[in-house]
Structure 1
Amino acid sequence: MITSLFFLAILLVGVPIGICLCLAGVVFILNSGSTVLFQSFPLQMFAGVDSYGLIAIPLFILIGEIMNSGGITRRLVDLAMAFIGSVKGGLAYVNILANMMVSSIIGSATAQVAIMSQVMVPEMEKQGYDKTFAAGLTVYGGMLGPIIPPSVMFVVYSVLAQVAVSDMLIAGIIPGILLTLLFFLVIACMGFFYDYPRSEYRTLRQRARTALSASPTLLIPIVIVGSILGGFANPTEAAAVGAVAAALVGRYVTKEFHFGHLPRILLRSAMYSAIVLFLVAAAAVFSWLLIYGKVPQAVAAWIQTVAHDPVTFLLLTNVILLVIGTVIDGIPGLIMTVPILLPIATEVYGIDPRHFGVVAVINLVLGLMSPPVGLSFFVASAVTGAKPGKMFIVTLPFFIISCVALVVLSLFPSLSLGLIK
C-alpha cells in the first residue's frame, strides 16, 4: 500500500514514469526490510534491456527520422491521393490511407500525429474542410502507427511477454487493416450529413504519373514487412535494411535527404531510443518486484471472482486498459500492466499471449485519444492550433467504431493470429 501511494504521488506531480518505477522499487525494498534485494536491482535493470530484439527499436526510430527528413511522407500522401481519386470527401480517405502507409514505417502514434498533422491538416483546410475535423481525423489515423508493423509498442510487448517479435508484428496486420476499413466506413456515413468537398480532379494520366513518381517510396515498407513475412529476416535485420533503404530513397529518389543530416538524425534517434530503453529497464525491476510481492496472484484471485471465462476477462481488461491509457502513455502503460495481467490471461484463462498483446496495445493507443488527457489530441493541437476538446467531440464516431473494433478483436482471436505461421 505504501509503495502504491508513493508511486501515485510522484506520478501525479509529474515525475517521469521510468524514474517513478525505479523509486517505487526502492520504497518497496525498504518497506519489505529485505535490503539484500538492492544487490539485484542493477542486475535486473541490465537484464531488462539485454535482449537482441530491442535493437529493432532504435532502428525503427531511425527509419522514421530519415523518412521525415527525406520528404518521403509527402510523397506517400501523393500516392494515396492518386489511389483515391476525386470522390466526395476524398481527402479524408486520403488522410487515413496515407496514415496507414506511413504507419508501416514510423510505428509510433504520437510521432505519426505530429508529422501527419503538418502534412494533412493545412491541405484539408485549404480544400474547405473544418480544421478541427481535419486535425481529429489525423489523430485517429495516427492510431494505426503502433498497430501496423513496424511497431515500437509491439517490440516492447514482445520483450515483456517473451514472445517472438516477428509474431507480434504480423499479428497487427489484420487489425490495422480492419481499423482502416472501419474508419473509411465512418467517413462514408458522415458524408451523408456533412457536405465534404471533393478532391481535386486528376486525369488518369496525372494519377498514373503521380503514382509512378511516388511508388519508389513504397520500397521501405515492402522491404521491412515483406522480409519479415517472407521469413528472409528477423525484425531487427529488417529494420536495419529498412534504414538503409530509407536513406537511399531519400538521397537518390526524393533527393531531399543528405548524408550531412545524419549526425542530427542519429542524435534525435539516440535520445528517443534512450528514453524507451530506460523505460524497459525500469519495467524489468518493476516486474521483478511485483512477482516477489505476489501481486499477480492477488490480482488474479480478484479477477476470477468477476470474470468466469476468457471473453469476460478480455472485456474487463478492455475497460481497465482504456482507463489507464487515458492518463498514461502507451509504452509506460504496457510496462505497468503486462506483468500483472498477462500471467492471468495465459495461465488462468488460456488466452494466447500474442492475441492479448494486440488487444492490450490497441486499448492503450485508444486511450491516447480519450479524455481526460488525450495526449494525441494535444500533440495535434500544438501543431495545428485546433482545440483538443472540440476535436474529440467532432470525431466521436471514430472513437465509437474503435471501441467496436476492440470488442470484435477480443471475441475473434483469429483476426490477430490468422497470419502467424
Structure 2
Amino acid sequence: MIAIFILVFALLLTIGLPIAYVLGVSTVYYIFSTDNLELLYSIPQRMTGGIQNYGLLAIPLFVLAGELMNKGGITSRLVRFAKDMVGHFRGGLAYVNVVTNMFLASIIGSANAQTAMMSRIMVPEMEREGYKKEFSTALTSASSLLGPIIPPSLLFIIYGVTAEVSIGNMFIGGIIPGILLTTGFVLLISFISIKEKFPKHDRVKAKELVKAFFMALPSISIPLIIIVGILTGMFTPTESAAAASFLALLIGAFLYKEIQLRDFPKILLNTAMYTSIVTFIIAMATIFGWVLSFEQVPQQLSSFMVSLTDNVYVFLLICIILFLLVGMVIEGMAAIIILVPILLPVAASYGIDPVQFGIVISINLAIGLITPPVGTVLFITSSITKVSFESLTRYVLPFVLVSLVVLFIIAYVPAVTTWLPSLWL
C-alpha cells in the first residue's frame, strides 16, 4: 500500500499540482485506500499542531521586514552602494549582482522571493550595459542561493523547529557557508569576465563612495543588528525578526521617507499572502509526514541506509544526492518537514552535528532550485526575463558546479558550520 501511496504522490507532482495540494491529496488518498477513516478525525489536529510553534512566528516577521525594505527604498540604496563599491572591476555589474544578493539574503531569506525581485532589477540593467541576457539571468538565479543560507533563512527556521535545534545556532552557522558561496561565485565571475571581456565602469571618487556607504548604512545595519542581537543574547531569533521589521519601518518611513501610509495595505497583504502559502505547505507536510510515520517508513529507511554503509562520508554523499534530487521537485520547507525526522536520527548515529546537518540540507535543497531540468528558480527567472529554459540551463551549469564544490566543503569539513556557533556557546 505504501508503494501505491508514493506512486500517487509522484504522479501528482509530475502533472504540476502545487506541492501543498500534492501532500494533502496523497494523504487523503492513503486514508481512504486503507479504510482507516478514523484518521480523518485527526487531520485538523495534526495540521494545526504542525504550525503551532513559537519559532515559526519569525517567518511572517522576516517577510514583513523584506516587504518594508523593498518598499522603503532600502533595496535600491543597497544596489547603488554595491555598484559604487565593485562596479569599477571588469564585469562590475556581475559583482554588483552577487554583492546585492548577499545583502538582500540577510533580509529576505527566500530564494524564490529574492529571484523574482532581482530578476526585475539587475537583468535589465546588465543587459543595457552590454552583458548577455542569458548570463545575467543565470547569475541572478544562482545568486539567489544566498537567500536560504545567509541568516535570516526561512529554511533554517523550519529546520530548527522540526529538528528542535537552536535557530540562533543555525543563523550563526550559516555565515561562513554564505561567505564561501559568495567567494566561489566571485572567482567564477572573474574568470568569465576576462574570457568574455565584460565592460567595467570608471572608479567612483572616494567622496562619492563614502556618501553611498552612509546612504546604505542604515540598510546594512539591519542584518548586523540581527546577528549581534542574537550573539549577545539581547533577543531570540524570533524577537530579532520583530526588531528587523521595526527598524525597516523606521528607516523606510522616517529616514528615507519612501513608505507612505497608503502603502501599508499592500505591504501587509503581500506579507499575509506569502505567510499563508508557507503555513499551508507546513500544515500539509505535517500530515504527510504523519502518514509516513504511521507506516513506519522512517524506521525502514533508516535501517536501509545504515545497512548500506557504516562510513559517515558515504552517508553524507548519499544524503547530498538524495536532497539534490528532492530539491529539484519538492518545496524546501516541505522536504525538511518530511525528511528531517527520518534522517536526523541516522545522522546523529554517525556523530554528525545537527547544525551542520541542517545547513548541508538547506544548501542542498537550495542548489536543487537551480539544477536543471526542473529547478523552480530557473522557471521563475526564465518567465520574468523571457530567456529560453535551454539557454538558461547552459549558462547556469558553471554556477551549479561551484555550488556543489562549496557544498562538499561544508559537508566534509564540519568546522565550517560548527566553529562560530561553538564560540557563541
Structure 2 length normalisation: TM-score? Answer: 0.94
Query: Is the contact made by 1:103 and 1:146 (CA closer than 8 Å) also made in structure 2?
Result: yes
* Structure 2 equivalent of residue 364 of structure 1: 365
Gaps of 5+ in 2: none
SS at match of 1:105: helix
Match 1:22 to one of 21, 24, 32: 24
* Structure 1 equivalent of residue 384 of structure 2: 383
Worse-matched range after superposition: 331-340 or 161-170? 331-340
Identity %: 42
Q: Tell me the CA shift for residue 190 of structure 1.
A: 1.9
Q: What does 1:299-314 correspond to in 2, within 5 Å?
A: 299-314=301-316
Q: Between Structure 1 and Structure 2, how many residues are aligned?
A: 420
1:131-170 deviation line (CA, Å, top 9, x unaligned): 1111111111111001001111111111111212212122
Q: Tell me the CA shift for residue 92 of structure 1.
A: 1.2
CA distance in 1, matches of 2:394, 2:340: 31
* Structure 2 equivalent of residue 168 of structure 1: 170
Matched, 1:83 2:85: yes
SS at match of 2:420: coil
Query: Is the contact made by 1:158 and 1:164 (CA closer than 8 Å) also made in structure 2?
Result: yes
* Structure 2 equivalent of residue 199 of structure 1: 201
1:286-332 deviation line (CA, Å, top 9, x unaligned): 22222221111111222123232111111111111111112223222
* Structure 2 equivalent of residue 316 of structure 1: 318
* Structure 2 equivalent of residue 140 of structure 1: 142
Q: What does 1:5-404 correspond to in 2, within 5 Å?
A: 5-346=7-348, 348-404=349-405
Q: Tell me the CA shift for residue 127 of structure 1.
A: 1.7
Worse-matched range after superposition: 141-150 or 229-238? 229-238
SS at match of 1:402: helix
Query: Is the contact made by 2:119 and 2:381 (CA closer than 8 Å) also made in structure 1?
Result: yes
CA distance in 2, matches of 1:283, 1:173: 28
Q: Tell me the CA shift for residue 2 of structure 1.
A: 2.2
1:60-87 deviation line (CA, Å, top 9, x unaligned): 1111111111121111111112322511
Gaps of 5+ in 1: none
Query: Is the contact made by 1:220 and 1:246 (CA closer than 8 Å) also made in structure 2?
Result: yes
Q: Tell me the CA shift for residue 192 of structure 1.
A: 3.1
1:349-398 deviation line (CA, Å, top 9, x unaligned): 23222111111111111111111112112211222222232122123221
Worse-matched range after superposition: 78-87 or 89-98? 78-87
Query: Is the contact made by 1:109 and 1:145 (CA closer than 8 Å) also made in structure 2?
Result: yes
Q: What does 1:402-413 correspond to in 2, within 5 Å?
A: 402-413=403-414
Query: Is the contact made by 2:87 and 2:96 (CA closer than 8 Å) also made in structure 1?
Result: no
Letter in 2 for 1:9: L
Letter in 2 for 1:246: A
Worse-matched range after superposition: 403-412 or 337-346? 337-346
Relative to structure 1, the CA distance from residue 279 to residue 85 in structure 2 (aligned partners, 3 Å threshold; closer, same or farther) is: closer
CA distance in 2, matches of 1:188, 1:404: 17
Query: Is the contact made by 1:147 and 1:173 (CA closer than 8 Å) also made in structure 2?
Result: yes
Q: Tell me the CA shift for residue 335 of structure 1.
A: 2.9
Query: Is the contact made by 1:106 and 1:150 (CA closer than 8 Å) also made in structure 2?
Result: yes
Greater helix share, structure number: 2
CA distance in 2, matches of 1:295, 1:332: 17
1:23-43 deviation line (CA, Å, top 9, x unaligned): 322333344444433332222
Letter in 2 for 1:21: L
Relative to structure 1, the CA distance from residue 385 to residue 316 in structure 2 (aligned partners, 3 Å threshold; closer, same or farther) is: same
Query: Is the contact made by 1:296 and 1:344 (CA closer than 8 Å) also made in structure 2?
Result: no
SS at match of 1:419: helix
SS at match of 2:29: helix
Query: Is the contact made by 1:89 and 1:187 (CA closer than 8 Å) also made in structure 2?
Result: yes
Query: Is the contact made by 2:19 and 2:331 (CA closer than 8 Å) also made in structure 1?
Result: no
CA distance in 1, matches of 2:202, 2:260: 32
* Structure 1 equivalent of residue 417 of structure 2: 416
1:195-240 deviation line (CA, Å, top 9, x unaligned): 0111243111221222122222212212222212222111111111
CA distance in 2, matches of 1:127, 1:229: 41
CA distance in 1, matches of 2:342, 2:406: 24
CA distance in 1, matches of 2:267, 2:222: 18
SS at match of 1:369: coil
